[in-house]
Structure 1
Amino acid sequence: MGEEALVMQTKDRDFARSEHGCEHYRRRCKIRAPCCDRVFTCRHCHNEFTNSLSNPKDHHEMVRHDVKQVICSVCNTEQEAAQVCWKCGIHMGEYFCGICKFYDDDTEKKQFHCEECGICRVGGRENFFHCPKCGSCYMMSLRDNHVCVENSMKSHCPVCYEYLFDSIEGTTILNCGHTIHMDCFQQMADQNQYRCPICSKTAREMSGVWRMLDAEIAATVMPEEYQYEVKISACSPCPNLANPGLTYLDFCSLIRHWPRSASSAVRGTILLRRLHQLLR
């Protein structure tokens, strides 16, 4: 087939849309990695491959902004990164960012490039704002409604250790301001773990749980030998020292919270406390 016939056949730039790509993105091109000169469908495919190599010295990640060459998946022509293939005329990605060299045929994601982040985000520009202190884009519902931790997104998830800033997985902000993958936090919640893995402060609104524990403590019968014993423990969410009588849990009277040592107390020796009612 001649070049002119090919151009005529594929003059519709939507030709083969969403028919090519990988598990991460639908796109009609592949990229040549500038770091190792290998060809992959996307940077995630590159990173997964190189980080699985047997020699740790070969492990590396591709810098998206450094991509210069792409290969059209329709006509197999290698060329400089651009949205339209110069040979067959198709859109190699319905969404294209010339800064990130990012291609995606699925525009329902509402991709946009954030100048402050320096990378592309999904979800629609109108639905996000950039927090300069946290160093990332957050949903509008969090504007003036979250605890800022400097560069909190430019860190690794405390559960799976994946770098959060450019992760394709959803993230959430805990009450303390630290960030974590939504799926990782759900795994913690499924195991009744509600403390931030970094600072041990309560990660979510827990008043309902505290009420339940209040009822359990109120119903606890105190053995006579423990009636007047006191256990002092530090409270993670505040500088207060919990100084109640013994019970099954270490209770902070200042903010009505169970400090970090509570879990170890439950797992270890049974600590009972009778003066909980005096703290109300």
Structure 2
Amino acid sequence: MGGAHFPGDNDAGEVDAACCDGEVDLRDVGKMEHGCEHYRRRCKIVAPCCKQVFPCRHCHNEATVSGDRHTVCRQDIEKVVCLLCDTEQPVSQACVSCGANMGEYFCDICKFYDDDTEKGQYHCNDCGICRVGGKENFFHCVKCGSCYSVALRDNHQCVENSMRQNCPICYEYLFDSLQGTRVLNCGHTMHMECFTDMVKHNKYTCPICSKTALDMSHHWEMLDQEIEATIMPPVYRYKHFHNLPRTNFCSLLLLTNQLASHRGKPPLFGCFATTATRSQR
């Protein structure tokens, strides 16, 4: 059989030795002792596309990035190799040879194994894949096309298939990404880590629609107070302007009236023409 040898592979005697010594239940032999950087599991997959053996589909996809680029569809996996006895076999939770569970959590739809059940894995029929975090903590939004935290039920802006897009920052496909995601106020989505980096660089708007990505109410109130405390120079009082030179002071005046208009107030200083809106910040 093709493929490579990976760290954590054991010989066939591990199961017999552990069980004879009365250490653990047969099904629990080797639990949490094997796997890769993505999952703890006691089997490797046989990629249906190239017939090579890999710890998981993510390891396969990463290994083919620089060469013959192709990815594994999780539902197409038909064969696995037990890491305890090295037996190749059809997909199932328990090894047909040694009897050990190849994954404490097992999904026969996604052909998915994972020993680390603290992740709270569950299969979403609407998404068609397994997710983590505990089924009780999530609901499936039909319009957005993905599972969202129950905190967002009736409390988010729906955007059709918002999760079936690439992250606007790193361009990784969001729907089945291993990274956490954030739903912005506008309904668009991005990786949580990418969002954090964006805010650190003082970018507070959605990269897709330019609407405010955070609750900026407190910030606007502080600007209101600062601008209203600014004394208008006599030369500008009671005058109407439409095309002002781009100076810091004039930008301040434009912002003053912009803030005022969005609060339903009349212009605070003169009358300045602007097409910007709060939602575009």
TM-score for both structures, normalised by structure 1: 0.79
Deviation at 1:274, TM superposition (A): 4.5
Task: Specify the code of the residue in structure 1 equivalent to 2:33.
Answer: E
Q: Is 1:230 matched up with 2:237?
A: no
> Structure 2 residue aligned with 1:247, among 234, 248, 251?
251
Number of residues of Structure 1 aligned to a counterpart in Structure 2: 246
- For 2:118, the equivalent position in structure 1 comes to 108
Q: Determine the C-alpha separation between the residues in 2 that align with 1:4 and 1:96.
A: 20
- For 1:177, the equivalent position in structure 2 comes to 187
Q: Is 1:218 matched up with 2:228?
A: yes
Q: Determine the C-alpha separation between the residues in 2 that align with 1:226 and 1:23.
A: 64
Q: Determine the C-alpha separation between the residues in 2 that align with 1:33 and 1:59.
A: 13
Q: Determine the C-alpha separation between the residues in 1 that align with 2:29 and 2:53.
A: 22
Native 8 Å contact 2:91 2:111 kept in 1: yes
Q: Is 1:156 matched up with 2:194?
A: no
> Structure 1 residue aligned with 2:214, among 184, 204, 209?
204
Native 8 Å contact 2:224 2:259 kept in 1: no
List per-residue Cα deviations over 1:134-155 (Å, max 9, x = no partner): 0001111111110000000000
Moved more, 195-204 or 221-230: 221-230
Moved more, 112-121 or 40-49: 40-49
Deviation at 1:208, TM superposition (A): 1.2
> Structure 2 residue aligned with 1:44, among 58, 82, 85?
58
- 5+ residue gaps, structure 2, are 1-11, 273-281
Native 8 Å contact 2:15 2:26 kept in 1: no
Q: Determine the C-alpha separation between the residues in 2 that align with 1:197 and 1:92.
A: 42
Q: Determine the C-alpha separation between the residues in 1 that align with 2:45 and 2:234.
A: 73
Q: Determine the C-alpha separation between the residues in 1 that align with 2:136 and 2:177.
A: 21
- For 2:148, the equivalent position in structure 1 comes to 138
- 2:50 counterpart SS class: coil
**Percentage identity across aligned positions?**
59
Q: Determine the C-alpha separation between the residues in 2 that align with 1:160 and 1:72.
A: 35
- 2:81 counterpart SS class: strand
Native 8 Å contact 1:217 1:247 kept in 2: no
Q: Is 1:190 matched up with 2:197?
A: no
Task: Specify the code of the residue in structure 1 equivalent to 2:38.
Answer: H
Native 8 Å contact 1:6 1:88 kept in 2: no
Q: Pairwise mapping of residues 48-87 of structure 1 onto structure 2 (< 5 A)?
A: 48-53=62-67, 58-87=68-97
Native 8 Å contact 1:231 1:246 kept in 2: no
- 2:251 counterpart SS class: coil
Q: Determine the C-alpha separation between the residues in 1 that align with 2:270 and 2:38.
A: 56
TM-score for both structures, normalised by structure 2: 0.79
Deviation at 1:255, TM superposition (A): 3.3
Task: Specify the code of the residue in structure 2 equivalent to 1:135.
Answer: G
List per-residue Cα deviations over 1:187-226 (Å, max 9, x = no partner): 1111111100000001121111112222332344556676
Q: Determine the C-alpha separation between the residues in 2 that align with 1:35 and 1:94.
A: 26
- 2:113 counterpart SS class: strand
List per-residue Cα deviations over 1:152-210 (Å, max 9, x = no partner): 00001101111000011111110100011111111111111110000000112111111
Task: Specify the code of the residue in structure 1 equivalent to 2:180.
Answer: G
Q: Determine the C-alpha separation between the residues in 1 that align with 2:16 and 2:119.
A: 34
